[in-house]
Structure 1
Amino acid sequence: MQKTSIGRRNFIKSSSIITVGTVLAPTTMSSFNILPSKPELSKDIIGHGDYRYRVEKNWSDLNPKNHPVKNCHEMVMDRKKRLFLLTDHPKNNVLVYDKSGKLINSWTLHLKGAHGLTIHDENGSEFLYITDPSNGRVLKTTLNGHIVLEIKNPQEAGVYSKYKPYKPTETAIGPNGDIYVADGYGSQFILQYNGKGEFIRKFGGDSFLQPDKFKQAHGVALDTRDPNNPTLICSARIKNSYKRFSLDGNYIESYYIPGAFISRPVIDGDDIYSAVCFGMEKDNYNMMMNKGFVTIMNKENIVVSNPGGSKPKYKNGKLDLILQKEPVFKQCHDVCVDDDKNLYVCQWNAGGVYPYKLHRV
């Protein structure tokens, strides 16, 4: 009887599996049909130490006729893990992806020079801050592209004389909602406004030699890696440097990254990432096209990896010259870090390519 009982249970279990399998088979096959194809990853690994990656160049499989891009300037990720790409093509200022590269949405403000993109959570609602240096505009929008604030041009507001150029490249939002605007292609100031867009102060300015001033203040970011002492990290691209300031504009220190013409700083966890738009060649210290890579700095402000670039080496506490090693990139303009620590690299003047995804290994 025991053997018969066991046999019956096995028969019922097997019959149930067959029945369920028969019912679910069409659904399962349908699911297989909608699964994304396996990413085509490079066999080569780029980067150093714990920050190494395989490159997926065809992450964004879009038709340029339907979704053209000129330059892929910057990218951010929202709470829902959607990736917002900013381009300067007036037909597609913003393309919204999931992490697999599938297009979710697109919209435009018809900006011909859309350049800087910041995302900020304000009391549970997320907003985008967009700069356009071609027409001196700084816009705050919803995630669907509705403009809710535009910061007045400092020439019109009396902050600049009419002879000072104003070409804003980036924004950062302070802990109290203050808005910091980097005038990276203009007069090299960081301009501070309150959350309503009312001017507070400006700091920085244009100088090769003075440490508290900039040559191409391309980016600005809020550095909260020390939660008890938030500061601003600003990029001085032509000086191959990050510059740290207090929230009220007092200069603190600089970090020199020889060979790296960095774009904006991107804070993720304890690290600072930056796309390097231009590089150098050995024995040629001029800014060189098609020599881009990514650079990563840890909490101690030590460069730990250069995906696409040479391995970071320090001698007597000073960083050696960094050069492009693998010609993966042309001009890297921004890097976005997702919750799995994969990277998405946007490029300027690179033949209209969509972002590359770097899968962390």
Structure 2
Amino acid sequence: MRLRFLFLLLPSLALAHPDHGAEPGKDVHEAVLTGSGAWTYEAVPHWGELPEGKNIGPTHGGVVIDPRTGLIYVSTDAPHGILVYKPDGKLEKSIAPECQGFHAMAVKEERGKTYIYGAQLSGPKPLRVCKIDTNGKIVLEISQATAGDVQGGWNGLTAVTVAPDGDIFCSMGYGEQFIHKFDAKGKHLKTFGGKGNGDGQTSCSHGMAVDTRFGKPRLLVCDRENRRLVHFDLDGNWIGVHATGLRRPCTVSILGDVCAVAELEARVTILDKEGNPVSFLGDNPDKGQWAQYPVPLDQIKLGLFTAPHGLSFDKDGNLYVQDWNASGRVTKLQKVKKP
């Protein structure tokens, strides 16, 4: 564990940071390399920008990919709700304005259709979990009214994910750190976790995903302020620590045997199945920009991050990363194909 922590602190000499003679964020038309080895990426210039220089709106949310169509769904805190992009960065549509403020999202195919699960922290109807179709229609809602008097209260909702059998998990990462489990129809089944830094506890259970890399599915939780990833089984029993020494992990996305971690302190890290880092992406050398919400877009260099908050792999290993940002920022990292 100590070796893993030391490795995370080492400077990543393999990163190719942008330096094209242009001002940060301005007039950059060439892709910028970041990462190393098999996990080398190009940051795509101007991906996802809206016409006429409009901002996409504050981003304090997540990114998911529709496995059936390849469309990218980006949640925002703006009145338009969720933006839907084609892989080339062109805006397809916006959906679900009533779901403005999805802090996290998960995606699942069910009976040949794709559904998005969102944890709504803010917006017109905060503190609810919504299941919506890809046109934004709400088909299930879990709120304090439907959940009942759950342990630790119903506040500070930060994360949601869904198990293969349809069970739904949501986390009160800005509240008392409890994780609530519901069945596919929204019936409360159990509560587990709680605040702390010991086994079975978290300090800001900020994000989570169902992890199927170890046979029987597990819950992989971003224990942000303890700077680690932890595993529970789907009955809420503690399994153990998966990775430590991270820079305030917010969200994870799993592809094959690896997972990508959005770290609020200005970096994305790729971890192998054992929780060891294999590549660092977008590591920002300017610590003054780390975990900063109001950084103007024209002061952020392509290929670097300020506050990664949401991210998702697509089926080809490309990554879409959302910074926590007042104006709104999403970056496509396109995986470099090795000859």
Asked whether the 8 Å contact 2:283–2:305 carries over to 1, the reply is no
Matches for 1:1-361 after TM superposition, within 5 Å:
40-43=29-32, 45-63=33-51, 68-71=56-59, 73-78=61-66, 79-90=68-79, 92-134=80-122, 135-153=126-144, 157-160=148-151, 164=153, 166-207=155-196, 209-226=197-214, 228-278=215-265, 292-309=266-283, 328-349=304-325, 351-361=326-336
Provide runs of 4+ in structure 1 moved above 6 Å.
none
Report the Cα distance in structure 1 between the residues aligned to 2:45 and 2:246, rounded to whole angstroms: 25
Query: 1:63, CA displacement in angstroms?
Result: 3.0
- Residues of 1 paired with 2:161 and 2:315: CA distance? 21
Is contact 2:105–2:161 with CA below 8 Å preserved after alignment?
no
Deviations 1:208-259, CA, capped at 9 Å, x for gaps:
x312101000111111113x31111011000111110111010011033314
The aligned amino acid for 1:339 is K
Q: Which runs of 5+ in 1 are unaligned?
A: 1-38, 279-291, 311-322
**In structure 2, the residue corresponding to 1:110 is in which secondary structure?**
helix
Cα distance in 2 between the residues matched to 1:121 and 1:232: 18
Distance of 1:64 and 1:236 partners within structure 2 = 39
Residue 170 (structure 1) shift: 1.3
- Alpha-carbon distance, 1:40 to partner: 3.2
Equivalent pairs counted in the alignment come to 290
Alignment correspondent of 1:9: none
Structure 2: which 5+ runs fail to align? 1-27, 285-289, 292-300
Q: Pairwise CA RMSD of aligned residues?
A: 2.3
* Alpha carbons 1:72, 1:354 under 8 Å: kept: no
Q: 2:99, 2:53 → 1: CA distance?
A: 19
Aligned to 2:4: none
Aligned mates of 1:275, 1:259 — CA distance in 2: 10
Distance 1:160 1:235 in 2: 20
Summarize the Cα distance change of 1:229–1:157 in structure 2 as closer, same or farther, 3 Å threshold: same
How far did residue 277 of structure 1 move? Answer: 1.0
Distance in structure 2 (CA, Å) of the matches to 1:107 and 1:86: 10
Q: Measure how far apart 1:83 and its partner are.
A: 0.7
Identity %: 31
> Using a 3 Å threshold, how does the CA distance of structure 1 residues 242 and 259 change in structure 2: closer, same or farther?
closer
Larger Rg belongs to: 1
SS in 2 for 1:73: coil
Check conservation: 2:147, 2:188, Cα contact below 8 A. no
Structure 1 position 345, deviation (Å): 1.1
Q: 2:219 corresponds to which letter in structure 1?
A: L
